[in-house]
Chain A
Amino acid sequence: MKVTVLIPGVLRTATDGASQVDVDVPEPATLGAALDVLANTYPSLDRRLRDERSTLRRYVNFYVNGEECRRLSGPATPLPADAEIQILPSVAGG
């Protein structure tokens, strides 16, 4: 199933400049499964999104069709067909 991942500007060095990446996710399609596919293509992106246990980094937000995934089911959030995953660093720091 094809989904689209929107990459924030600060992470585009890890996607060769691409602002948007289409990934083909095996069923059952979840956010975590989409990130696994993305990791195969862009390992240096993955290490910035998830730690070595595949836990989502605390200050990176993942919106699935506009809804932050932590309000859904986190990495287990199911992806509808043609879902759009938007990755955005959260507001943090001083």
Chain B
Amino acid sequence: MTVVVAIGTRKGLWLARSEDRVTWEVDGPHHAMQEVYAVAFDTRSGLRLLAGVSSPHFGPGVSISDDLGASWEESSSPPITFPVEDAALERVWQLQPAPASQPGVVYAGTQPSALFKSTDGGRSFEFVEGLWNHPHRPEWEAGFGGQAVHTIVPDPADPDRVLVAMSTGGVYRTADGGKSWEARNKGIKAYFLPDPWPEFGQCVHKVAQHPALASRFYAQNHHGVYRSDDGGDSWQSIADGLPTDFGFAMVVHPHDPDTIFTFPIEADARRFPPEGKCRVYRSRDAGATWHPLGTGLPDNFWTAVMRDAMCTDNAPVPGVYFGSRSGEVYASPDEGETWHQVAAHLPDVMSVRAAVIPA
């Protein structure tokens, strides 16, 4: 079994490969000097790699490789454009292939906050007008990183149901293929607003779902860790047992809907892991209890893990991966029990995705 890890950074993309998920060969940079905030492996047919790339000089785009980075395809016309007068694409924050039952469908989340849908595997995208026309949109504010749809969770069975999360704005859900959207933030706190329990305006950092349990979502918020058991209608805190409720990442085990991983960060005003110790936290019971995982991880780790810089692979015993602002990437071959360094001294890691290369 060979696993490939795509590492998107502020200055390009690196690809790491391993037979044992302990020792790694790293090649790159691909797309040197371009920000790579979004990477995705499309495992539905072969293994397609998609990257949301953005040159500070020459603008954003989507690049596709069907040979794991040996060659890249980027269309001459921009794949994502805003068909409105008051916005232009600034950055692609998320690329999300839909379930296998929707071949060719790939969603893109962008800055400014909008959703796009591709039906040709990511070569071209259509604007999802319903979300853009939402009456809440004028009140969606920019966070420090910009105002973006950074999370897209297509329903595993129903192609008309999609959940998105944005900062700020919070969680929105459609049940009619994107025509209409409803805010779904009940129970998620926005401590930074005069009314801390608003209908929308939350700064949800990441939402994750297991495909076998479509009614359940997990969320890492800008302070707050939550679970929904009713499809996003309401959220309950699962932060007890974590050293802090701040963080960016939230990852579900690919084969167990009750197992989740996160990377706690001390606080909004102090964005380091608690005591500077690099630790992943895992819950085996849907957030009821949490356990730190640090075997092989360093102390004196004065950096942070961003919202898309943590993931699992799709192996029978899944590997877990994360990268840091300090350009370090770690892998666990055993669901987080032990960790090994994949790479160091890279630019700030913004996105990490991993997949088993088909035989």
Contact A60 B81 (CB under 8 A): no
Asked if A81 is at the interface (CB within 8 A of a chain B CB), the reply is: no
Contact A53 B88 (CB under 8 A): yes
Interface string of B79-107 (1 = CB under 8 A from A): 00110010011000000000000000000
Asked if A23 is at the interface (CB within 8 A of a chain B CB), the reply is: no
Stretch at the interface among B50-58, B115-123, B165-173, B196-204: B50-58
Interface string of A49-66 (1 = CB under 8 A from B): 101110101011000000
Contact B58 A60 (CB under 8 A): yes
**Which of A43, A53, A90 lies at the interface centre, i.e. has the most chain B CB atoms within 10 A of its CB?**
A53
Chain A residue contacts of B75, Cβ below 8 A:
44
Asked if B45 is at the interface (CB within 8 A of a chain A CB), the reply is: no
Interface string of A21-55 (1 = CB under 8 A from B): 00000000000000000000001100111011101
* With A43-B76, A43-B77, A93-B33 as contacts: A48 and B88 at CB distance below 8 Å: no
Q: With A and B bound together, what is the CA distance between A13 and B56 in angstroms? A: 18
Chain B residue contacts of A60, Cβ below 8 A:
57-58
Chain A residue contacts of B77, Cβ below 8 A:
43-44, 47
Q: With A and B bound together, what is the CA distance between A47 and B59 in angstroms? A: 8
* With A11-B58, A60-B57, A93-B33 as contacts: A53 and B85 at CB distance below 8 Å: yes
Contact A59 B81 (CB under 8 A): no
Pull 8 A–B residue pairs with CB atoms less than 8 Å apart, ordered by A: A43-B77, A47-B59, A48-B57, A52-B81, A52-B82, A52-B89, A57-B57, A93-B33
Closest 7 CB pairs of A and B: A48-B58, A44-B76, A52-B81, A51-B88, A43-B76, A59-B57, A89-B57
The interface on chain B, measured as residues whose beta carbon lies within 8 A of the other chain's beta carbons, has a size of 17
Give A54-94 interface residues, CB cut-off 8 Å to B. Answer: 55, 57, 59-60, 89-90, 92-93
Q: Which secondary structure dominates chain B's binding surface?
A: loop
A-B contact count (CB 8 A): 44
Interface string of B48-73 (1 = CB under 8 A from A): 00000001111101000000000000
Q: With A and B bound together, what is the CA distance between A60 and B61 in angstroms? A: 17
Contact B82 A93 (CB under 8 A): no
Residue of B nearest to A52 (CB): B81
Chain A residue contacts of B61, Cβ below 8 A:
47
Residue of B nearest to A45 (CB): B76
- The smallest beta-carbon distance between B82 and chain A, in angstroms, is 6
Chain A residue contacts of B58, Cβ below 8 A:
11, 47-49, 57, 60, 89
- The smallest beta-carbon distance between B335 and chain A, in angstroms, is 38
Chain A residue contacts of B57, Cβ below 8 A:
48, 57, 59-60, 89-90, 92-93
* With A43-B76, A44-B76 as contacts: A51 and B56 at CB distance below 8 Å: no
Residue of B nearest to A57 (CB): B59
Asked if B143 is at the interface (CB within 8 A of a chain A CB), the reply is: no
Q: With A and B bound together, what is the CA distance between A60 and B55 in angstroms? A: 11
Residue of A nearest to B87 (CB): A53
Asked if B78 is at the interface (CB within 8 A of a chain A CB), the reply is: yes
